[in-house]
Structure 1
Amino acid sequence: MSPRIGYFLSCEEYSPSQLIEQAKLAERAGFEALWISDHFHPWNDAQGNSAYVWGMIGAISQACSLPITTAVTCPILRQHPAIVAQAAATAKVLTNGRFTLGIGTGEALNEHVLGQRWPNTDVRLSMLGEAVDVMRQLWTGESVTHHGDHYTVEDARIYTLPDEPVKVYVSAFGPKALEVAARIGDGLCSTMPEADVVSSFKEKAGPGKPAQVGYKVSYSTDPERALDYAHELWFNEGIPGEAAQVLSSPKHFEQLAPLVTRDAVAGSTVHEADVDKHVAEFAKYADAGYDEVFIADMGPEYEGFFRFYEKDVLPRIRG
């Protein structure tokens, strides 16, 4: 069975009005769902945006009817899980049930802004597990008092609730995170075409738990211009290791930009209007076993991207 094909909205690169425009264009072009990033900062100043995701979801819910998943929200530091639970419940009501809360342990880039210490991976995973427990208690509609290792909630009740509790999909990078995702998640979020991760998650999590993945391409009829967009705006995608989790400022990412060469970006990113290359890139993720695949465009030529996908790419993928 072919995966559901969605579009990935990048709050870091586009203004609120552009994000709404992209959501409408995605629906018209035949995309079936939306991912949307949840950041306090962009990865670098060239991207230039970082709209508040909950405001964007409210606006998008009134502009198109596609399902929406956050990719991903970090409910452990900058946003307390009780507040995320309320926001997610409202989002699911606004979308008539078509909202999924994608979560992860976040990056220092976004989560350090209130002055808390940035915990190590094991602590963040422990916090994430407790955060999900708090949110699920609140989604029962009962009054919740919780005194845990990481969070305190006092006599809290969410009144605006959807008909069914919010589904929680968990991002997992590395074996420890995958164990947690399989234990607490209703699904998996990823950005890598790794069949072993998908199969391991489904084996550990049990049946009926989908796996989602997202990736980026750069569209232009001029390949060199498309490569410019990818290299100038999203060089951070090529920074290896744990740096993306521990760097705390867009300026820090910009200091590493010289390490990510234009040639390296050219070798790792589809950056042209070549149907075969776009179809082959999609196939990497579909063949890995994902149930939903979300594609983001980089750069300002997104109207052309949607025309290209509607006319040439989506029919090939589905055919």
Structure 2
Amino acid sequence: MTRFGYTLMTEQSGPRELVRYAVAAEEVGFDFEVSSDHFSPWLTEQGHAPYAWTVLGAVAQATSRVDLMTYVTCPTMRYHPAVVAQKAATLQILAEGRFRLGVGSGESLNEHVVGEGWPAIQDRQEMLAEAIDIIRALHTGELVDYRGEYYQVDSARVWDVPDEGVEIGVAVGGRRAIEALAPYGDHLIGVEPDAALVEDWNAVDGAKRIGDGARAIGQIPICWDPDEDTAVKRAHEQFRWFGGGWSVNADLPTPAGFAAASQFVRPEDVADSIPCGPDLDAVVEAVSAYWKAGFTDIAVVQVGDEGQDRFLEEAAGPLLEKLRAAAPA
């Protein structure tokens, strides 16, 4: 069954608002909620970057049904993997089994802040594989000593470990990443509706197969508003960085860099890539690209803090009805 999620965008909303939106999203019927984990917004116009793990801890207590997930955490630079193991275990206990840990190789925007530079992509993928090994070892609750190429762990133990463990979703953006990382993940996280991601993942020896226990989890921005011009304006202001693609966005270090890279992006360019306005059928059509590509879970991003309450109150329920009617069972 296709599942539909709601995105807690830490770049565009403050922490108290995010918890409120999470409660409303559960009440309206979303199946799961994912949270971004950024040290900085992409653009200064977005204006926020609260600590995702504190927000998710509050959300775990304020909700009771929806699954929760980081989309995604980078457990290699800003966070040492041993610290990620501890906080993921704690959050799983607070969420009573509803949490999945989503991890990825990161973006310079968030990771360069600790002053360790920005490694090449192959190094980042190798670091991520090592980090996942450490996290899984610590989630056994046993004492762990680890000597790797990138990380060292000395006599570490996570004392509060959930009985059900913590499933790990791994963000991948191409064949090389899939070949390197698929055996380490319980689920695939994809940044675009590309059927090749699912096919390549399922072809890797040792990978858990999508559709046979593993899930493919995607995400898509939308900008619903009763007025189309308002929606296009908001999407351009908040999400014009989106068109750069992962290969560009991963390496830009500051909001100023994203502003410069997107300075010639026009509102109509954004509207061509993000469904804007009141037409829910257009949203369903855009989302359908993911399930047609073999994705099992799709989280929507309602762009902008302004209008978020109205989206949840007026549009989210009817949108979910249309999505579930159109999606494959």
Tell me which interval the TM-score lies in, with the shorter structure as reference length: over 0.9
**Aligned pair 1:283/2:282, yes or no?**
no
| CA-CA distance at 1:183 after TM superposition | 1.4
**Structure 1 range deviating more: 97-106 or 276-285:** 276-285
8 Å Cα contact 1:239/1:260 also seen in 2 = no
Report whether the alignment pairs 1:118 with 2:121. Answer: no
Which secondary structure state, in structure 2, belongs to the residue aligned with residue 260 of structure 1?
coil
Per-residue CA distance 1:240-288 (angstroms, 9 max, x = gap): 4622111111111111222322121011110011121111112111211
| Matching of residue 248 in structure 1 with residue 248 in structure 2 | no
Shift of 1:220: 0.9
Structure 1 range deviating more: 201-210 or 143-152: 201-210
Structure 1, unpaired ranges of 5+: none
Q: Which residue in 2 is equivalent to 1:269?
A: 274
Query: In the alignment, what sits opposite 1:101?
Result: 101
Matches of 1:311 and 1:117 in 2, distance apart? 44
Instruction: Give the stretch that moved more between structures: 82-91 or 62-71.
Output: 62-71
C-alpha displacement at 1:311, in angstroms?
4.0
What is the aligned partner in structure 2 of residue 92 from structure 1? 92
Q: In 1, Cα distance between the equivalents of 2:264 and 2:11?
A: 21
Distance 2:323 2:311 in 1: 15
Task: Give the drift of 1:303.
Answer: 1.9
Question: RMSD across aligned C-alpha pairs, in angstroms?
Answer: 1.2
TM-score by length of 1: 0.97
Q: TM-score, normalised by structure 2?
A: 0.94
- Assess if the C-alpha contact under 8 Å between 1:202 and 1:209 holds in 2: no
Q: Could you give the per-residue CA deviations for residues 30-56 of structure 1, whole angstroms, max 9, x where no partner exists?
A: 101001000011101110000111101
Which aligned runs of 4 or more in structure 1 are off by greater than 4 angstroms?
Answer: none
Equivalent pairs counted in the alignment come to 318
Alignment-derived partner of residue 21 in structure 1: 20
Identical-residue share of aligned pairs (%)? 37
SS in 2 for 1:5: strand
State the SS of the aligned residue for 1:282. Answer: helix
Q: Counterpart of 1:32?
A: 31
- On the 8 A contact 2:173/2:197 being kept in 1, the answer is no
Secondary structure at the residue paired with 1:113? helix
Determine if contact 1:29/1:309 at 8 Å carries over to the other structure: no
Rounded Cα–Cα distance in structure 2 between residues aligned with 1:189 and 1:308:
29
Distance 2:37 2:318 in 1: 30
Aligned equivalents of 1:239, 1:216: Cα separation in 2: 14
AA matched with 1:80: H
Q: Which residue of 2 aligns with 1:221?
A: 226
Unaligned runs of 5+ in 2: none
How many angstroms does 1:191 deviate by?
A: 2.3
